[in-house]
Amino acid sequence: MSVIIHCAKVKDSSDLFDIRRLIGHHYPGLVSVNCMYTENGFLLKTLEAHFKNTNVLQDIEKQQLIKIGDTKYRATVTNKNTKVFRCYKCKTLGHKVKECPVWRSGYRPTKALAIQNTQPAKSAKKLRRQAKRHAIESLSTLESLPNEILLEILRLLPARDTIFAFYNMNARIRHLIGAFQSINFTALPYTFFLEYCAMLMNREHELQSLTLSNLDSCEQIELFFSNFPVEQLKNLRSLTLFNPSYPVLDTILSKLSVLGCLSSLKIEFKEDAVSSAHFFCNFDTSVSLRLLKFNGSVYMSGFCVALYPNLVFLKITSTISLQYYADLLQSIPKTLEKLSVKLDVSDDLTDDIANLFLQNSNNVKHLKISIADNITFNHFQIMSIPFHQLLTLSFEYDADYDDTDDSYFDGSDWEQFIKSYLPCLKTLDIVMNVYDFRRDIYDRLQTFQTSFWFERK
């Protein structure tokens, strides 16, 4: 014998454990409790419970109720081998349509009315589908945003990632990516590079920032400037080139006056290219240039910083000679405020070079300089005479065991140097690369713990 429990609150089969426990508290002899499903596999709100105690079955059959916890549910006792019928009138299990109380009342729906009665259920399904579709469409997707906001989002991503992720999304996104005014072609595959160059046709004058590289691609710089001459990039403000060929570089630098809006120029070479022979380049003047960064030892000949009267920041990332450094300070414009250089370890400060430093004066306020142990501290003081308006000094020193000048590690010598030559200095950053550390150097570093270093901040 089994009991059919109607309108049970069951979400899935995992709730059966708690239901068995609650039924077992009230009715002994419980064997099992199972869920019931439709022919399509949908879970019904109906349970089938099996009892081995006939007294319990008689009690449930008499009351037609079963208690699960504190709630009572309608129950029907059936034979074990009896089929469970479903009423298509009241949609409940346990009786046929002819046994339904509604049917017995004398109501006989026709076939047409039965079809009409099924329509509300279908319309309810449609309403649920429409509500679900509306909920999905109401979510803010990337394509639902206006072009102005979408451009701001895409500009936050690197150009390479933007092209990879969104280029083939749709025509609208592709058009927005093609309208970028700042593009970085570094590590971009050859096919994407060609497609983007095709999109730039007749729009290259809109570019404001451009980065090209020959490190991860084959002649990317040469290919770009063969399709877009320098004269067409009239609104370009920033140009960065990694490992360009010398002929292309000579063409670009000789036409800087055409780029009237260019304010930043960065040229980087590989390490093996830096150590190559010098070559002459026809540098052109540029009034708008504010930032210049390059590997200096590659093209010393023909370069003169005086060609850029409004230059603010000059950074030479490779080593330069003391002679060139002295000549450089002689020609820097008055607008230059930031200077970063690295001096060659093989040069010594001669009397002629020292006289160039003594006769020079500039308005540089931020200096980053890296020197080797062949330059003594006294020579470094002479080299610092032109920087009487210096506010920030970042100093890097490579010390060797044999030729180390101990004055670099003496706080009192630095104190006297700052008071004499750098009266306006506010920030001092010292990096000492000591390859053979000695105990006496550590003792000398204790001289930096005086009142001068604690009070002057």
- Alpha-carbon distance 249 to 245, whole Å? 6
Q: What is the pLDDT of residue 103?
A: 63
| 3-state SS assignment for residue 30 | strand
Q: What is the pLDDT of residue 85?
A: 60
Q: What is the pLDDT of residue 277?
A: 40
Query: Does any domain span residue 387?
Result: yes
Question: Which tokens in the block code for residue 57?
Answer: 């079955």
Helices (H) and strands (E) in the chain, counts: 17, 15
> Is the CB of residue 343 less than 8 Å from the CB of residue 370?
yes
Q: Kindly give the pairing relationship between strand 65-68 and strand 71-78.
A: antiparallel
57-78 tens-digit pLDDT: 888 888 888 888 888 888 888 7
The model's pTM: 0.60
427-438 tens-digit pLDDT: 889 888 776 656
Residue 185 confidence class, pLDDT cut points 50, 70, 90 = confident
Residue 184 confidence class, pLDDT cut points 50, 70, 90 = confident
76-104 tens-digit pLDDT: 887 654 455 666 666 666 666 666 766 66
Q: Taking the CA atoms of 410, 413, 419 and 425 in sequence, report the sign of the dihedral they define.
A: negative
> Is the CB of residue 174 less than 8 Å from the CB of residue 195?
no
Question: Residue 388 is part of which domain span?
Answer: 1-47+312-456
Question: Which tokens in the block code for residue 27?
Answer: 């009715």
What's the domain count of the chain?
1
> Is the CB of residue 282 less than 8 Å from the CB of residue 307?
no
Question: Which tokens in the block code for residue 88?
Answer: 């298509």
Query: Does any domain span residue 83?
Result: no
Average of per-residue pLDDT across 246-259: 83
Q: What is the pLDDT of residue 278?
A: 44
- Average pLDDT of the residues of the chain: 77
Q: What is the pLDDT of residue 367?
A: 93
> Is the CB of residue 258 less than 8 Å from the CB of residue 231?
yes
Q: What is the pLDDT of residue 65?
A: 87
Query: Considering the chain, what percentage of its residues have pLDDT values greater than 70?
Result: 76
Beta-sheet strand order (sheet of 182-184): 182-184, 209-213, 238-242, 264-268, 291-294, 313-320, 338-343, 366-372, 392-399, 427-434
Query: Does any domain span residue 380?
Result: yes
The DSSP secondary-structure symbol of 260 reads T
Residue 306 CB neighbours (<10 A) = 12
> Is the CB of residue 345 less than 8 Å from the CB of residue 322?
no
Q: What phi and psi, each to the nearest 5 degrees, are found at residue 184?
A: -125, 110
Query: Considering the chain, what percentage of its residues have pLDDT values greater than 90?
Result: 3
Q: For 26-48, give one letter per residue: b (16+ CB within 10 A) or e.
A: ebeebeebebbeeeeeeebbbbb
Q: Is the pLDDT of residue 108 over 70?
A: no
CA distances from 396 to 2, 353, 370, 379, 456 (A): 91, 21, 5, 15, 21
Q: What is the pLDDT of residue 379?
A: 84
CB-based contacts of 53, cutoff 8 Å, min separation 6: 27, 28, 29
Residue 391 confidence class, pLDDT cut points 50, 70, 90 = very high
Q: What is the pLDDT of residue 116?
A: 43
- Alpha-carbon distance 111 to 108, whole Å? 10
For the chain, the residue count is 457
Q: Rounded to the nearest 10 degrees, what angle do helices 147-155 and 171-178 cross at?
A: 60
Residue 305 confidence class, pLDDT cut points 50, 70, 90 = confident
Query: Does any domain span residue 448?
Result: yes
- Alpha-carbon distance 96 to 73, whole Å? 20
Query: Does any domain span residue 280?
Result: no
Query: Does any domain span residue 385?
Result: yes
Query: Does any domain span residue 82?
Result: no
Q: What is the pLDDT of residue 366?
A: 93
Contacts 24+ apart (CB under 8 A), 284-289: 284/253, 284/254, 284/255, 284/256, 284/257, 285/256, 285/257, 285/309, 286/256, 286/257, 286/259, 286/262, 287/257, 287/260, 288/259, 288/260, 288/261, 288/262, 288/263, 289/256, 289/262, 289/263, 289/264, 289/265
Residue 156 CB neighbours (<10 A) = 7
Query: Does any domain span residue 17?
Result: yes
Q: What is the pLDDT of residue 401?
A: 52
CA dihedral 35, 39, 40, 44 (to 10 degrees): -30
Average of per-residue pLDDT across 244-273: 80
Q: Is the pLDDT of residue 119 over 50?
A: no
